[in-house]
Amino acid sequence: MTETPLSITLDRSSPVPLYFQVAQELERQIQDGAMPAGTRLENEVVLANRLGLSRPTMRRAIEYLVDRGLLVRKRGVGTQVVTPRVRRSVELSSLYDDLVQAGQHPRTEVLRLAVERPSDAVAAALEVGAGTDVYVLERLRYAGEEPLALLHNYLPLDLVRLSEDALTNDGLYNLMRAAGVTLKIASQSIGARGATAAEARILGEHRGAPLLTMDRTAYDDVGRVVEFGAHVYRASRYAFDLTLTG
């Protein structure tokens, strides 16, 4: 097992976050073979000091690559490079995209479009300061004439101009792409729970009916958080398909 001192040139005047610059250069070195599987990174504190970064910034760069399957943390060993996964480029899609592709004729009812201060949890997910106004969206998505999902989304104000008409006639991700936002990667959590009385009434279900839940944080091509979503789907009408490899 080898340990390689890390040398990276950072552009501190660039709008690209420092953690993302570090992560991109590390990923390039791993993909190019300059840091083969088994290479052990130095301690986070040493790396941060070497690059003139804070420890949280260095930790975030490493966690980004751990999430992408390029690094692994081992107790008593440290952080080391693993054999990269075979990756297939897949476009980050929305429910609207999926329904169009499936020929399900999506229709959207905008229940709420506002600009306001989000909760602390949403502000943290969007990586905006406390008290920063953001877009707050609530939409009911139909497949044909049948309600399918209740969508809550939160976006920074400087990315795209949103209107009720635009959101009624098109998908959110389509509007973001048209505004020049390049959706690159997302962190997603899927779960399940029973419907509240309000959700059941909107979705045409009974109270306590099973719902699938999905929380998603989407990033653009410079590592900026561009959207946080908290969605619920009727389990009787929707399923998530995942492909697992061994």
- pLDDT tens, residue order, the chain (246 aa): 455 567 788 899 888 899 999 998 998 888 788 888 888 988 889 989 989 999 999 999 998 888 877 888 887 778 888 865 444 333 467 777 777 777 778 899 999 999 999 999 999 999 999 889 999 999 999 988 889 999 999 999 999 999 999 999 999 999 999 999 999 888 888 899 999 999 999 999 999 999 999 999 999 988 899 999 999 999 877 776 665 555
The Cα–Cα gap between 156 and 119 comes to 14
Domain spanning 95-234, CATH class: alpha beta
What pLDDT score does 73 carry? 85
Q: Is 213 helix (H, G, I), strand (E, B) or coil?
A: strand
Under 8 Å CB-to-CB from 175, ≥6 apart: which residues? 160, 162, 166, 167
The Cα–Cα gap between 211 and 236 comes to 8
What pLDDT score does 226 carry? 95
What pLDDT score does 243 carry? 58
Sign of CA pseudo-dihedral 12, 22, 184, 237: negative
What pLDDT score does 207 carry? 94
What pLDDT score does 38 carry? 85
- Domain ranges in the chain are 18-81, 95-234
What's the predicted TM-score (pTM) here? 0.64
What pLDDT score does 125 carry? 92
Assess contact for 149 and 234: CB atoms under 8 A.
yes
What pLDDT score does 84 carry? 56
What pLDDT score does 220 carry? 92
Query: Which architecture characterizes domain 18-81 according to CATH?
Result: Orthogonal Bundle (1.10)
What pLDDT score does 116 carry? 96
Under 8 Å CB-to-CB from 22, ≥6 apart: which residues? 8, 10, 51, 53, 57, 58, 61
The Cα–Cα gap between 170 and 119 comes to 27
Give, in order, the Cα–Cα distances in Å from 16 to each of 24, 50, 168.
11, 20, 33
